[in-house]
Amino acid sequence: MAALELAGVTKDFGETKIIKGVDLAIRDGEFVVFVGPSGCGKSTLLRMISGLETVSAGEIRIGARDVAKLGPAERKIAMVFQSYALYPHMTVAKNLSFGLENLRLPRSEIDAKVQEAARILAIEPYLERRPKELSGGQRQRVAIGRAIVRDPDVFLFDEPLSNLDAALRVQTRAEIIQLHRRLKSTMVYVTHDQIEAMTMADRIAVLNAGQVEQFGTPEELFQRPANRFVATFIGSPRMNIFAGAISAIDGTGLSVSAAGVGDLRLPYAPGALAVGAAVDIGIRPQHFRLAGEDVAARFLVDYAESIGTETYVYGKLDGTSADAILHLPEHRHFKSGDRVPVSTPNDFIHLFDQATGKALTRLEQAN
Ligand SMILES: Nc1ncnc2c1ncn2[C@@H]1O[C@H](COP(=O)(O)OP(=O)(O)OP(=O)(O)O)[C@@H](O)[C@H]1O
Ligand SMILES: [Mg+2]
Residue-wise pLDDT for 117-146, tens only, equals 998 888 899 999 999 999 888 898 899 999
Q: What is the CATH number of domain 4-232?
A: 3.40.50.300
pLDDT at 82 over 90: no
* Nearest-angstrom CA–CA distance, 233 and 34: 12
Q: Which fold has domain 237-353?
A: OB fold (Dihydrolipoamide Acetyltransferase, E2P) (2.40.50)
3-state SS, residue 88: coil
Who's near 334: CB < 8 A, 6+ residues apart?
301, 304, 311, 313, 340
Name the nearest CA neighbour of 9 among 207, 230, 216: 207
Query: Helix, strand, coil: what percent of the chain each, to 5?
Result: 25, 35, 40
Positive or negative, the CA dihedral 272, 277, 280, 283 is positive
Q: Where in the chain is the domain with CATH 2.40.50.140?
A: 237-353
Q: Quick check: bond before 237 cis, omega within 30?
A: yes
Q: How far is the CA of 108 from the centre of ligand 2 (A)?
A: 37
Ligand nearest to the CA of 158: 2
User: Nearest to residue 92, comparing CAs of 136, 120, 123, 135?
Assistant: 123
pLDDT band at 161 (very low <50, low <70, confident <90, very high): confident
161 contacts 191 by C-beta, under 8 angstroms: yes
The protein residues having their C-beta less than 5 angstroms from ligand 2 (an ion) are 43
CA of 161 from ligand 1 middle (Å) equals 19
Burial of 262 (0-12, 13-18, 19+ CB in 10 A): middle
pLDDT of residue 365: 59
Q: What is the pLDDT of residue 314?
A: 98
- 43 CA → ligand 2 middle, Å: 4
Nearest atom within ligand 1 for CA of residue 47? 18
CA torsion, ordered 197, 200, 203, 205, to nearest 10 deg: -30
Q: What is the pLDDT of residues 223-258, one digit of tens each?
A: 999 999 999 999 999 999 999 999 999 989 999 999
Q: What is the mean pLDDT of residues 17-38?
A: 97
- Centre of ligand 1 from the C-alpha of residue 54, in Å: 14
Whether 38 is in the pocket of ligand 1, judged by its Cβ within 6 Å, is: yes
Please provide the size of the chain in residues.
367
What angle separates helix 136-148 from helix 107-121, to the nearest 10 degrees?
Answer: 140
